[in-house]
Structure 1
């Protein structure tokens, strides 16, 4: 594997060197070394791998000596069949076919030396600039002989922190198709580097042309349009192809596994044995950045069968450098690539006439119309009843020319428009179906419970809310667990809690991929009746180690979930309630919980229809638990501190048939009302009604509902003293 990164001095982020550039440096700032060199060095520490590698290098050198130099050859353009696997997160990173084609068009121009900036190649290097004579084409026939556009879309959490594992979800035979994978982010840990990696690839030797051969690239660095429109260069794919075809960096002493420096010939005595094993790419001392034409880091440019008779400046124009002015490959690099292809039968088959016919990439092939792959999206998936939702056809592969939609619960309930607008007047969760057609075939996309419509008024209208997740039925009916594109989810957990017998939790130890996001949405609340409302909750959480990187966020919606505003965010180091733990974390005492709070904005606090969305973005952490999620006035407990003597107690709790209420006051409390309410704010029993209490202890018996288990609230209200306690009835 080869991975390349540089330090983006403008942002302080580590960025992939192959396709970003830095025209300046900061005083005292150092760029990190290339992970490709480090990976190769570690690989060659294995004697067997080193022996295999040296044997392959010898074969390549022999083929290179046997072949006619490229300057005198009349070889034709070689076609490379391509498949691009687009790994996305519910559409994030699902780049368009136009962007994919743009990335390949740009790469082909660079490979064929048809790029617009060839004029920027300095005169001293123009005689050595080469057309590699390769052209990449999207496949028109898939491995099963079916029609394809050479693009596969996969919705998977493996699009984040991608490693070779991501390739397992989609790959085509690498001796027949060159595989690219586009992703949202890449795991830096195999190279012990932090920051942001833009891409990596696999050399053809050592591991061979196997299921992981090809290149992984971040989607926002593919091409120059779409999600990559703000990218500073279109040379990403070009650099990756160079490595996949066997090219090294000019400072990369491959025979020593990256040891030594680029100016010292150690293994042999000339340019054919050292660094990139190519003689018309002047050696470089080390990775360099920017675009400094005066850079000349080595003085041994003429040693061996070098075409140079004088000391040359560094060839910063070369695509295998880290400079911002890349615009050329050399004839020597073309010769080396041709020798690599002659060495590996899989690569020979990849570009063979028979394989081009089998993949539909041969000259003169007219691709047939493919059936569409039905897919769709909408401008929102949640809203209040009485609103219209816009749907958009995003079918891929063959272009659809007719559409049949079904919208149970919507008005109209069906449509043949490409992008219909549907009115939802009823509450509930509703499926959506799209049947996309063209002359070649039909495909159906069905999404269950895709649209969720709520009442315009809040589900709960109390003066405060206490949620302990004690009742399974209430949890299933009131809370919405949002499906992720992975395996993780929020779930109710019995036997673990801060109080009572249950909580909600995320199995973050084994259940989530890196950067997988899991969400849970609360029922709706009327906050307007609460003086200065505040959401508080207990959380128990352990990091796995110092590499853990995840965040708990809470969002607020005032329009039934149509839009959300983030109001709370805490990273792992501020969220932890216990020390790091490398075994599955399960809290076993209240000391392992901590309280968190969220204060709504003034607009949110005055709203009569508020929902909360709790989101965990996982990052190799440990289990997380939440309990006692309460919405109360932030003044509760302040006014009462001088009136209550001790705490309010309800025992037993949980209880059946009856429970005992006890509390003490330090002064007279007038016009006291105590009653019990269910989760919906309905009064189920009355304990006191307009009674004046003297200072002292007070004890009352609470008769409980018969055969109606659930969570209830015992609430006291008066002019000077107010409190609420949760009571579980079983």
Structure 2
């Protein structure tokens, strides 16, 4: 027998059919692929990129540990009861024939389930001696549900002709829709003819950790599904004799158990310590199987062995299952379900069934009210009336005189209602007996639903949410819901952590999309980055809010976390606490009636907020080429032509096969190109080499234009190339000066003409101004002077950096070194972004910056003789990057911290024997004259350094006799001396 979980789905191939399938070219399933878990998991990962089984396991482990520590004797020994409903989905056969199983077979399957889960199975005596001490009872009893969702008595068995002949796991939503009872109160077990060789599958329990977002959304398929052939006892089942253990196995998955080999091999665990590791699944019943240097537990219900071989669950499996039962919301709620108790039985009891939908609407304002009446009492009822109230005003009363026998029901149809005014209408139904009989139970005599006539709004549309009107809230659970806060529209999830999985809807006005060419929806949102963000989706309706079936946005694709987690209720305070999502609605442009439902699902996280909602003409054109960035830059030239590579991108919606590039200087055209050699599809980038004639002036700016032809006006996008004829060479050491009168020939390159790098003398730093630049991905450069490194063997770069990383945005800082004597910047020597760049974290702006010192060894590049460095910032509209103390020094390792002194240099060691070191720290680089003198003023050694700043200088003093000497330093600005002692 083969059983395999898909984390949520246990997809199992029926062995008999497997042999048949492998002979068919259509399927091409090899023996190694008889369980399609890898393919299904790949599909699941694509659809839910945040899904993480490991995170669920971490949560489950923490719950188990907590429970063992705090309450070892708590409900572990208390038996819990779970109500079961069997949905028998058949093909029209008589009861007891084919898939329409007999009640006796269903009864026996329920007995088997209870035997296996409580160690009452007759084959416990066959458990191997090695494992008998580990065997455990789960103390869980499964019973037939005693009342249905409407409060009527039930046998716990529902028989429904299916819409399909058989069902694959991909069609499980179709199968469960054939017959479904709320998964919070009923353990749904669907029994049908399963396609694809599947024996069955089960849904894993939901948790409150990141990675299982889809579990709550799957409440409509939550339960267990079994092929009718392997349901209960069936000696005629193929490959092995069914003894009802397929349901036992799948029920283990339903309560959180994994396969005992962990679906991975010896190194993969099933998170139960007392189940030995196994390399793979087992078939047949090889009791001596050893795969991971220990005896495999092939008799465990969570292996793939034959039914007759299975007979054990373990203590750790019990701990795992009971942890899930006592903590996972929909498993816990089963143990207190009203279905555990039979409904009260009265002689006279007339009640109303639930309405189909608590909320509805239509474009016309017409509504057809109807309600179903059921005689739930023992005696027949002959006369009763059903009333319809609209907003608490009696609209219509219908008297029925037909006899309604016990258990019978009748649907009552009222006159058509027309709601002309916009807004919400409560539709209230009530049933009363007529005559001398009194209804002995009245709590089932009223039902309510709501009709919402949604207001229309013109486009473009903008809502800032300082009030709700004309939006409409749908709040079926009458718990937390959308409301207005000081910061905008939100849901107070933080204070409502008991309502896991509940959905809160708010409905927009209706828009006519035929009045807009290219529609775009955008909203501004805020939410902390909890382990599981709240589930946010936006659906579109084309029938004025009656149905919302078109999912246009989901945060499983676009993360909506904007701020770091907090232990208190989250209220957005800072600019970076908010961000914007834009949704292209071009496919809706011909729809005359569209409204949106924003659905927030409670994931036990913090509050979620929206403060702007817009529907307007998209900024995205049908045809547009834009310049994205410079790939190579040489804005500093020495009498040569300017060259470079730019990247352009098709940012429109249509293919573009022709566009122009023009280069202008002082609005005069100096060069142009027609690009028609390739077709650019939407989103495609390409690189273009640019050669520009020798500039007519030493300092100026070129404008690079890319022109896209259009049926209307041509679309022109520009990038700017400021340049300077800068051939001045500097010698190291060198430090960036923040003196406004001169910056040592440092140069700012700002192709977008936005804020860019600026010098801040108050901070003694340069600032990227990323917080002011809205164009994400734009770049700015800070370029060093041309350095003559021909006279040094070693060269280092040190600088201090400060960057407070926000939660959502991430700036990138890179350093390039030039090739070809400072002409191009192609060699990347430093790159950090996000967390690796950060010196602190937070969306707020701190007054005191936190700095980190960085060192880059430039010695491998001194062979080039002349170099430049470019410091590039890539903006993300987050926080600013600050740099200070950018210094080139002569050396191969970062210098130690300079002593806390105002002196321009220090000497060490002192006394000295052979070699003395000078640690220099000047504010301005300049030429220096050094002398070593004895106490009589005799010059023992002297030399000139063409430029000093902050480097180390070593002197060989081994030839000096023992004694006291004086080191003298003279520059144009300073004169300083220091004594030192030579010892022998």
TM-score of the superposition, structure 2-length normalised? 0.31
Asked which structure has the greater CA Rg, the reply is 2
Q: Greater relative contact order: 1 or 2 (C-alpha under 8 angstroms, separation 6 or more)?
A: 1
